[in-house]
Structures are given as structure tokens and as C-alpha cells.
Amino acid sequence: MLKIGLTGGIASGKSQVCRYFIELDAHIIDSDKVARELFKPKSSHLETLRAHFGHSIFLSSGELDRKALGKIVFTDQRQLDWLNHFTHPLISTEMKRQLANSHSSYVVLDIPLLIDKQGKIPDHLNSLIDRVLVINTKLEIQIDRIIKRDKISKKEALNIIDAQSSLQQKLKLADDIIDNNGSLQSLKQQVNQFHEQYLTQGMQV
């Protein structure tokens, strides 16, 4: 089985790319979805977050307030490092479990933080993938999408972008690149091309 690590900056179009792959019957493992399941209400992992960050990152319902957590970690690198150190091994373990149950020619692992701030792929993620597929999106497009989607300021949007690895760092490690600065039709055509490529490569693995 060929394992593709899909990544890109926030609001680069990963969700749309995944939707196109799904239309082609590709198997997608979404790290964000895995994280939401691991940290759903009443999960024991939430208590570790509560002990470290306090009650302010929780809603009155007991659910994790991801926006409140984001405001903390995207303005404090030490807090972000702590959060990543705690959550990433849990997420990668679950992704490994899902990979073991897959019988597709190739699998796309949607991992926004595949490449860290040092421009490297952490060992626990590197062992999961065979190729890196990066979505290339211009900074101004990202900023505009984040502001409209999350109803936040340009400064807050830039804080989130700056907390992640740069586009240049991502492109340096890319085996394959999707350009998402044009039309949806162009984006879909590129996904179709990679689908055919990955089917062929998957049969050779």
C-alpha cells in the first residue's frame, strides 16, 4: 500500500483536495478527525489538557473549546510545543491502527502539521508515509480565507500561519505538489492526475 502524506498551510485547500480524492474512492485518514475523536467529551485525555491549560479551554458543556485553546498556543511557542508533544503520538498511534485495517492501493493521510517548524517530519509521522504531497497556496489567499472562515483579524490569522512551518519548508520536502491558486476545475484535474499516478505506484509497492 502506498501511503501519501498530504499537507499544506492552514486554509490551503486540504479539505477540498480530500473531497476530490474521496470522489475517486480513495481512502482518506484525517488527522484532525482522529484528534476530535480522541478528545471528544469525557475522554480521559481531556483531563491532561485541563491540568495543563486550566478550565478556560473548555465550554460549559464540558467540550474542548478549540478556539480558546488556539488563542493560547498560537501566541506561545512553548505551549504549542507542549500540546504537540502530548497529542501527536496519540494521533499517530490511531492513524497506524487505521492504516493496518486499510486494503486500498493507496491511502491519503491528511496531516496539516506533517512538517514541523524546523522544516522536518517528526519520526513518528515519517514512519507512516511514503510520499509527501504539498498544496501550494499563496499567502494572501490563505489570509483572506482564514479571516472569512474563522471571523478573526488579520493579525490573528498571521499568528496561526506563523506558528506552522513555512510554505518554503513544506515545498522543500515535497515529492508531489498541487497548485491551488487557480480554479476548482484546475484543482480537480490535478487530483485526478495524482490519483492515476498513485494507483500505478500503489500496485508496485
Q: What cell numbers appear for 27 in the block?
A: 481512502
Confidence of residue 163 (pLDDT cuts 50, 70, 90): confident
What phi, psi does 98 have (nearest 5°)? -65, -35
- Please, what is the average pLDDT of the chain? 93
**Residue holding cell 506561545?**
76
Confidence of residue 205 (pLDDT cuts 50, 70, 90): low
Which residue ranges make up each domain of the chain?
A: 2-204
Local structure of residue 64 (DSSP, 8 states): B
Which CATH superfamily includes the segment(s) 2-204? P-loop containing nucleotide triphosphate hydrolases (3.40.50.300)
Identify the CA nearest to 3 among candidates 137, 88, 114: 114
Q: Which amino acid is at 75?
A: T
- pLDDT tens profile 8-67: 999 999 999 999 999 999 999 999 999 999 999 889 999 999 999 999 999 999 899 998
Q: Which amino acid is at 25?
A: D
Task: Give CA–CA dist 101/35, Å, rounded.
Answer: 18
CA atoms within 13 A on the CB side of 194: 30
Task: Give CA–CA dist 50/37, Å, rounded.
Answer: 17
Distances (CA, A) of 121 to 50, 97, 170, 184: 28, 20, 10, 29
What phi, psi does 91 have (nearest 5°)? -65, -45
Confidence of residue 95 (pLDDT cuts 50, 70, 90): very high
pLDDT of residue 42: 87
